[in-house]
Structure 1
Amino acid sequence: MTQNTHILRTKLEVETEFGAFLGDTRIRLLEAIAIHGSISQAAKKVPLSYKAAWDAIDNMNNLAEQPLVLRSAGGRQGGGTQLTAYGKKVVALYRALEAEYQAALDRLTASMHEESDNDFQQFRQLLRRMSMKTSARNQFAGEIVGMRSGQVDFEVRLRLDAENELVAVITRESAESLGLTMGMEMFAMVKSSSILLLTDTRVKTTARNHLWGEVSRIHEGPVNSEVILTLPSGKTVCAVVTHDSIGKLELQVGQQACAVFKASSVILCLQS
């Protein structure tokens, strides 16, 4: 009788305390950027769409303590794009961890012949459930620098960088459940559809969050357009707005604009 042989082959997913950060696809994108010096050529090599490649870079730079990728203007062909010294170290560390990870899986596989097929299938299902992702386009890591408790709501201020803070309002129950304390590092998510754009510095709004940056990309869709603002620190904010709004604001790449969103639109997460 032939014995079934199960082999575990999986791709390493690296997470910070703020959530998903690196995976095989993103690492291959970084390696391709290092080789080609062009985001468009690197995206084709992976392969990824041009937009998906930029989205991945924006997300990594937003979550990292330092930028992994530096870019310069150059239109749709990508201009000059290169890994920072920090980015090169991250890639090297990932590949080293990947080798150790696979070695551990090989040892686990070797012992699985003593387990039932049902146990193996349950283990695979558990791994799938543990790889849950979020659909929120804007994900930021920040340190709690202010808290204010009200009768019902609880206000939290996160420092995103040297120039910008993000304000979130959650329930007191949520704050108690998360065990929030000053200096704690949190993960904040904001849906792109919750963000409004302004270009006039004289306009006042009741929204607590105003993040000024430069329009770095405009991706036009069949109904709405996706606008990416790059903050001075290199972090990015994505907003989905109508084509009419693009026209009324006369938005163009290189223009200064402000991402505006309510504190109640911010979701706070704590990686356990």
Structure 2
Amino acid sequence: MATRRQSPRLTGRLEVSTELGSFLGDTRVRLLEAIDAHGSISQAARHVPISYKAAWDAVDAMNNLAERALVESSTGGRAGGGTRLTEHGRRVVAMYRAVEAEYQTALDRLAGRYATDAAADMPAFRKLLRRMAVRSSARNQFAGTVAGVHGGPVDCVVHVALDAATTLVASVTRASVQTLGLVVGSEVVALVKAPAVALVAATDPVAGTAPACAPASAPNRFRGAVERIVDSPVNAEVTLALGGGRTATAVVPRATLRALRLKLGAPACAVFPPSSVILAVLD
């Protein structure tokens, strides 16, 4: 009896970065988890395993980049001191693991898709993997091609074609255009942080026309349907399915949910200014 051949599995490592450098990755998360389990830097370092100095360097770097300390240490006392993970540190680890699980799920779907497609376009596959390798703290990432660069000696407006019918607009400096080598046809990834995305009502301004998004003055307006809502006492994280496999995620006050009557499947528009868009090139 023939054994069914299993498709190779794609795996990846998630890394969270800031403008100052790498902040959180697989090794650092395992270090934080080991600190939480053992209450000791030296034991945690052996568990990972990394050197004692590397462990302390990593803890210092994470604490310096984080809004609040992830790790706290105490010396002396009857218990002999120790190191512990703060509540903020535990939340950061939990969030990382949740995003990592989503990332792996996406890779599994991708592997399944190409395993069943005998005519898979491998150049396109490699391009997709390059796009997935872009690492950023920005929740929204849109891959596209530069369709136009306009502006003066200081400020420029860059039009990025996401597909034949969808264009995103970014506002960057002329120096950034030159540094990144942006010209028509350049392949880029547009990054937008979730707090910079506003949600507005989807309306039909003229009977019989296709639905549009208000305000009409905003160049980046993307209509979609609510796919996921993560609620909290103050803010909510709302993800819109935009079609074509794209999503846009916004972090908005809970009052916005009530005002727009947002629920799963409800139409809405994601709006963000060109100045909130960061462009990254694919080397």
Q: Place the TM-score, normalised by the shorter chain, in its bin.
A: 0.5 to 0.7
Partner of 1:85: 113
Letter of the 2:154 partner, please give it: V
Superposed displacement of residue 246, structure 1:
0.3
CA distance in 1 between partners of 2:193 and 2:256 (Å): 18
Cα distance in 2, alignment partners of residues 269 and 176 from structure 1: 13
After superposition, give the CA deviation of every residue in 1:164-217 in whole Å (9 maximum; x if it has no partner).
211101011111111111111001100000001112324324322001111111
Identity of aligned residues (%): 39
Q: Report what 1:74 is aligned to.
A: none
Residues in 2 aligned to 1:54 and 1:166: alpha-carbon distance in whole angstroms: 29
Instruction: State how many pairs are aligned.
Output: 174
Normalised to the residue count of structure 1, the TM-score between the two structures is 0.55
Question: TM-score w.r.t. structure 2 length?
Answer: 0.53
| Structure 1 residues 132 and 52: CA distance shift in structure 2, 3 A | closer
* Structure with greater contact order relative to length (CA < 8 Å, sep ≥ 6): 1
CA shift for structure 1 position 13 = 5.1
1:158 is matched with which residue?
160
Alpha-carbon distance change, 221 to 51 in structure 1, aligned in 2, over 3 angstroms:
farther
Tell me the equivalent position of 2:199: 197
Shift of 1:52: 3.0
Shift of residue 151 of structure 1? 4.0
Matches of 2:246 and 2:104, distance apart in 1: 10
1:26-82 deviation line (CA, Å, top 9, x unaligned): xxxxxxxxxxxxxxxxxxxxx999963675379x59xxxxxx749xxxxxxxxxxxx
1:1-272 correspondence to structure 2 within 5 Å: 52=99, 55-56=102-103, 69=109, 84-86=112-114, 133-201=135-203, 202=205, 203-272=214-283
Distance 2:12 2:229 in 1: 32
Cα deviation for residue 231 of structure 1 reads: 1.2
4+ runs of 1 displaced by more than 6 Å? Answer: 47-50
Q: Residue type matched to 1:217 in 2?
A: R
What is the identity, as a one-letter code, of the residue corresponding to 1:152?
Answer: V
Greater Rg over alpha carbons, structure? 2
Instruction: Tell me the distance in 1 between the aligned counterparts of 2:166 and 2:154.
Output: 26
Distance verdict in 2 for CA 1:55–1:139, change over 3 Å: farther
The structure-2 alpha-carbon separation of the partners of 1:48 and 1:180, relative to structure 1 and needing over 3 Å to count, comes to closer
Contact 1:161 / 1:233 at 8 angstroms: preserved in 2?
Answer: no
2:227 and 2:240 in contact (8 A); partners too: yes
* C-alpha contact 1:224 1:243 (8 A) present in aligned 2: yes
Structure 2 residue identity aligned to 1:239: A
SS in 2 for 1:259: strand
